[in-house]
Amino acid sequence: MKAELVRIGNSRGIRIPKPFIEQCGLGETVELRVAKNCLIISPGRIPRQGWDDAFHAADDTAQDELMLEGLERNEFDHEEWQW
């Protein structure tokens, strides 16, 4: 689809059709960036949006294990590490 650049003061703008806005989930603000000579428009989201809900939805009955548990100690653990 081609779109014309519309003069807005000293800037230019484009009109984004409603179906594109809905399909991309765009709201009142968007994120703009340039990559490989292309303008990329993405939804303006708050960093880490939804993390709190995901954390609370996690299964709290699961047994959390440390990733390093069960590993044998090495030379660093015996000689260099200090609490």
Segment 30-55 shows an average pLDDT of 88
Of the pLDDT bands very low, low, confident and very high (cuts 50, 70, 90), residue 46 is confident
- pLDDT tens readout for residues 53-69: 888 887 665 566 666 67
Its pTM stands at: 0.50
With a CB cutoff of 8 Å and minimum separation 6, the contacts of 60 are none
Q: Which domains does the chain have, with CATH numbers?
A: 1-45 (2.10.260.10)
pLDDT value for 47: 76
Provide the token pair at 76: 């660093």
